[in-house]
Structure 1
Amino acid sequence: MMMNYYYRFFFILLLFFLLFLVGDSCFAMRLFQRDWEWKPEVKKVESLPEGDFLVWLGHSTFLIKLSGYVFYTDPVIFDKVVIIRRQIKFPVELENLLPPHFILVSHNHYDHMDIPSLNFLSEKARKNGINPYVFVPQNASIYLKNESFKVVELKWGDKYKIREGFEILSVRVKHFSGRNLFDWNFSKWNGYLIILDGIKIFFGGDTAYLKLPKFEPDIALLPIGAYLPRWFMKRNHVSPCEAVKMAYDIGARIMIPMHYGTFKQGLDTPEQAIYEMQECAKKFGVKAIIPSPGEIIPINYIVSMIEK
C-alpha cells in the first residue's frame, strides 16, 4: 500500500515538472528571468489605413493588408495566454481590428494557436460576411472546432493557390508541437510564404536555425526572442544572429523581427535580442526594420527601402 502512495507522489511530481517545461512558455525559466529595461512606445492605433500595410501587434502576431486581403499571423490578441500575461499592451482596440480573410498558424503551442483569439477573429469575419481561411500544419486541425472558418491543413512543401498570382506555400521549419502531455509532435510546425501580386512575405513561425531555400522574399518575419540559455533553447529557437543568417540565406530584402518583448519566455531580454540582431545584420548586410508595437508600416515604404 505504501508503494502505491510513492508511485502517486512520483507521478504528480513528474507531471508538475513537465507542466513547467511544456511548450514555449517555459514557466521554470521565468523564476530566473531579469527585469526588462526595454520600454517600447506602444503606438495606440485609433484607426487602420485603407492602403496596404503591415503592423506588429506583439509576439508573433502581425496584421497584414495586401491587395485588399487581410492576413493575421499566429494571432494572440488578449491580455494573457493561459496564465502568462503580456508585458506590453495590445496596441489596437479589439473592435478596431480588421476582419480577416486569411490566418496563418505556425504550430499548436498556446502562444501561437490561441483559440479565443481565433474564435474572436472568425466571429468578426462572419459578421462582415467573410468565411476566413485558417492555415495550420499537418494534423493540427483537430484543435479547431469552430465552423466559422475554413481550416486548411498544409503539409511541408504544399502550395495552396487562391487565384492567379496568389498562393500560400507551407515551409518546413525546425521546432516541435504539443498542447498537453499526450500530443507531443503529433501535429507539425510550419513557416509560410505568401506570394501575392508580385509581393512575397515569409513568416517564419517558431524555429531553430536551418538552411532554407532562397525564396527571395521582400519581407521576412523572423523570431529573435526566447533563445537563452542556448543549451536549452537552441534545438527549437534561433538566436537573433541565427535569425539574421536565415534572412540572409533566403535572400530576404527586408527582415522584421518578432517573437520577443511580449511574453517572458527565456533568460534573454528584448534589448539584448535587438542589439544582437542589429550587430549581426551589419555583418551580413541584411536590411532590417524594427517596428514599435502598433506602428503601421506602409508596404510602399518597405518597397522604397528595398529599392535604395
Structure 2
Amino acid sequence: MKRNSLLAALSAATVMTLGGVGYAAHKRGRNPYYRGPKSDHFDGLRFHGPDQPADKTLADLRNWKKLRGIESPPRVTWPGDAPSPFRDLPPERHAGLRVTLIGHASYLFQVAGRNILVDPVYARRASPVRFAGPKRVNPPGIAYGDLPPIDAVLITHNHYDHLDGPTVARLWQDHQPLILAPLGNDTILRAYDDTMHVETRDWGEVLDLGGGLNIHLTPANHWSARGLNDKRMALWGSFVLTTPVGVVYHSGDTAFRGGGIFRDARARFGPPRLATLPIGAYEPRWFMRDQHMDPDEAVAAGLLLGADRMIGHHWGTFQLTDEGIEQPVEALAVACAEQGLDPERFQAFRPGQVWEA
C-alpha cells in the first residue's frame, strides 16, 4: 500500500490529530528535523515532557473502536455543515487587544498594533491528503482575503490541524511575516517553500518583536508527528505573549496532567489578561486524556492561570474524536458552574467571534 493511502486509511484522530501511532524509532535512528544537544527534554532523537506518557499503539487504536458504546460513549456523528453566525472583518491595526477565532485552533491576535496569526489552517481537511480525513464543517471566521497585513505567524506543533503547510507558504509569499515555531518545525515548514524564513525556539526561550512585545515558548503536555516514523521528533509548546496591553496565554494542544504547566506560567508571567484554551477533541477519555483537556480540565487550567478571561477553542470545526459537535459547549457550562467560575469569564468561541479589550 502506498504511503498516502496508508495514512488515509488510519484513524482520523490518530493521523490528523495525533499524527501517527506507536511506531518505534525512526528507521535510521536519526531525527530528520532537528539535530542539537541533549537536554532534560531531548534525548538526541526524540523530545519528551517531564512525565511523558507511553505512546499510543495500534492495539490502543483498535481498542478505541472496539470499546465504543461498551466501555466508552459511542461516536456521535457531526452534521456535514455547521456554519457559524459570526464573520469578522478585522481592522488593519488595533492599538489594544483584539482576538478573533478563525476556526478550530486558528486565531488572529491583534495586539499593540501588530497582527499575529496562531496555527493558521485554511485547508478544507485537517489531513496529510486532500481526499480523506476530517473535513471542515464551517468556513474560516476570517476569509483569507480579509486578513490584515500579517506581521508574525506562530506554530505550536506539527499536527495537521495546527500546521497547515500550504497556508503558511501562502502567507509567506503574500505577507513575508516572521514565522516562529518550536525546534525542528522549521525543516517541516521549509519543505513547503524553501525560501521561507522560520525562527525556532526551545522551551523557556523568547523572541523579542520590539515595542515591548515578546513571545515566549513554554511547555505543553502533548507530542508531535507528521507521519508514521517521526513521533516526537519536532518540539511542541504553548505561547505566552507579554505585551504593553497585558499578558496573553495560548496553550496550543495540551493535557492537564496535574496542572503544573499552568502554575508555572502564572508564577513566571503573572495572571494573564486572556487565556485561550482547548475544550474539544477529548473522547474517549482513556485514549485522549494524555494529550487533550476536556472542558472540566480547561476550567481548572484557567483558574490555575488566574486568567481574567478565557476563550475555548479546538471544537466545532473538524471532527477528530467521538464527542458531539455541541458537547464541549454544554460540558463547559457545567464545569463553570461546578467550579464556581462566572460563565462570562470562559466562553466557547465559534469561528468569526471576537473578543476585544
Query: Do they fold alike, i.e. is TM over 0.5?
Result: yes
Distance 2:242 2:10 in 1: 38
Please name the residue that 1:44 is paired with. 87
Partner of 1:288: 346
What is the CA distance between 1:77 and its match in structure 2?
1.4
Distance 1:92 1:193 in 2: 23
In the alignment, what sits opposite 1:6? none
Further displaced range: 16-25 or 196-205: 16-25
Could you tell me whether the CA contact under 8 Å between 1:42 and 1:88 is conserved in 2? no
Shift of 1:19: 3.2
Once the 2 structures are TM-superposed, how far is the Cα of residue 136 of structure 1 from its aligned partner? 0.9
Query: Are the equivalent residues in 2 in contact too, given 1:240–1:277 (CA < 8 A)?
Result: yes
Alpha-carbon distance in structure 1 between the residues aligned to 2:90 and 2:289:
39
Q: Which amino acid aligns with 2:10?
A: L
CA distance in 1, matches of 2:168, 2:145: 14
Q: Report deviation, 1:284.
A: 4.1
Residue correspondence of structure 1 range 147-158 to structure 2 within 5 A? 149-158=196-205
**Structure 2, unaligned runs of 5 or more:** 21-60, 69-73
Distance in 1 (CA, whole Å) between partners of 2:310 and 2:84 is: 20
Letter in 2 for 1:266: T
Q: Classify the secondary structure of the residue corresponding to 1:245.
A: helix
Is the 1:170–1:193 Cα contact (8 Å) retained in structure 2? yes
Kindly indicate whether the alpha-carbon contact (under 8 Å) linking 2:111 and 2:245 is maintained by their aligned counterparts in 1. no
Q: Kindly indicate whether residue 154 of structure 2 is the aligned counterpart of residue 104 of structure 1.
A: yes
Cα distance, 1:94 vs structure 2:
1.9
Please report the RMSD computed on the Cα atoms of aligned residues, expressed in angstroms: 2.8
- Check conservation: 2:316, 2:350, Cα contact below 8 A: no
Q: Write the distance in 1 (CA, Å) between the matches of 2:253 and 2:84.
A: 25
Structure 1: how far apart are the matches of 2:8 and 2:113? 47
Q: Distance between the aligned counterparts of 2:217 and 2:7, measured in 1?
A: 35
Q: Which moved more, 1:185-194 or 1:71-80?
A: 71-80
After superposition, the Cα gap between the structure-2 partners of 1:108 and 1:16, relative to the gap in structure 1 and judged at 3 Å, is closer
Counterpart contact for 1:77–1:90, Cα < 8 Å = yes
Letter in 1 for 2:144: L
Q: Does 1:224 align with 2:215?
A: no
Cα shift at 1:119: 1.2
Kept in 2, the 8 Å contact 1:139–1:153? The answer is yes
Equivalent residue letter for 1:253 = D
Distance, in Å, in 2 between the alignment partners of 1:49 and 1:269 is 36
Distance 2:239 2:231 in 1: 22
Tell me the TM-score normalized by structure 2: 0.72
Q: 1:204-219 to 2 correspondence within 5 Å?
A: 204-209=251-256, 210-211=259-260, 212=262, 213=264, 214=266, 215-219=270-274
Distance 1:186 1:26 in 2: 12
CA contact (8 A) 2:100 2:108 kept: yes
Which residue is 1:242 aligned to?
A: 297
Q: Pick from 47, 60, 69: which aligns with 2:105?
A: 60
The residue identity in structure 2 corresponding to 1:94 is Y
Cα offset, 1:161, TM superposition: 1.9
Query: Aligned pair 1:94/2:133, yes or no?
Result: no
For residue 124 of structure 1, give the secondary structure of its aligned residue in structure 2.
helix
Q: How many residues matched?
A: 283
Which runs of 5 or more structure 1 residues have no equivalent in the other structure?
1-8, 126-130, 301-308
**Separation (CA, whole Å) in 2 of partners of 1:252 and 1:148:** 39
Q: Corresponding residue for 2:56?
A: none
Compute the displacement of 1:23 (Å): 4.4
Residue 235 of structure 2, aligned match among 183, 188, 191: 188
Residue 163 to residue 46, structure 1, CA distance change in 2 (3 Å): closer
- The residue correspondences of 1:264-303 to structure 2 (distance < 5 A) are 264-282=319-337, 283-285=339-341, 287-298=345-356, 300=357
The TM-score with structure 1 as length reference comes to 0.83
- SS of the equivalent of 2:103 reads coil
Equivalent residue letter for 2:75: Q
The one-letter amino acid paired with 1:24 is: T
What is residue 179 of structure 2 aligned with on the other side?
Answer: 134
Q: Conserved in 2, the CA contact under 8 Å of 1:171 and 1:193?
A: yes
Deviation at 1:40, TM superposition (A): 5.6
